[in-house]
Amino acid sequence: MVAAKLIFNLSKKGSDKDCEVRDLIEGYLAGLSKYGNIWGEFVLSSKKKGFQAYTYLSHPNAMAKKYQTKHTKKDLENIYEKIGENPKCEILGDKIDRTVPKWKTESFLYIFTHAFDFTSPVCLGSSGKALPIYFLPLSAGDRERAYFWASSYRDHDRIWLSSDELEIPAYKQMVEPDSGLSKKGRKICDIVEKKTGIPTYYFLNRYWGRIENEDNRLCPRCGSEWRVEEEIAPSKSFSNFAFQCKPCRLVSCEADSFEDERHARIGEYKLKKSTDTD
Distances (CA, A) of 152 to 110, 114, 193, 202: 17, 10, 21, 15
Pairing of strands 200-204, 109-111: parallel
Task: Report the distance separating Cα 169 and Cα 176, nearest Å.
Answer: 11
Mean pLDDT, the chain cut into blocks of 10 residues (278 residues total)? 92 66 94 96 89 95 94 94 91 84 94 96 94 96 97 97 94 97 98 97 96 93 90 54 95 91 92 49
Task: Report the distance separating Cα 225 and Cα 242, nearest Å.
Answer: 12
Task: Report the distance separating Cα 225 and Cα 202, nearest Å.
Answer: 17
Contact of 186 with 174, CB cutoff 8 Å: no
Q: Which amino acid does the sequence have at 54?
A: Y
Q: Concatenated DSSP letters for 10-76?
A: --STT---SHHHHHHHHHHHHHHHHTTSEEEEEEEEEETTEEEEEEEESSTTTT-GGGS-HHHHHHH
Task: Report the distance separating Cα 246 and Cα 251, nearest Å.
Answer: 8
User: Could you tell me which of 46, 48, 55, 71 has the C-alpha nearest to residue 6?
Assistant: 55
Q: What is the pTM of this model?
A: 0.89
Q: How are the residues of the chain apportioned to helix, strand and coil, as percentages rounded to the nearest 5?
A: 35, 20, 45
Task: Report the distance separating Cα 226 and Cα 217, nearest Å.
Answer: 8
Task: Report the distance separating Cα 26 and Cα 20, nearest Å.
Answer: 10
Domains of the chain in start order, with CATH, are 2-91 (3.30.70.100), 103-264 (no CATH)
Angle value at C-alpha 203, between 197 and 207, nearest 5 degrees: 170
Cα 161 to the center of its chain, rounded Å: 19
Contact of 78 with 120, CB cutoff 8 Å: no
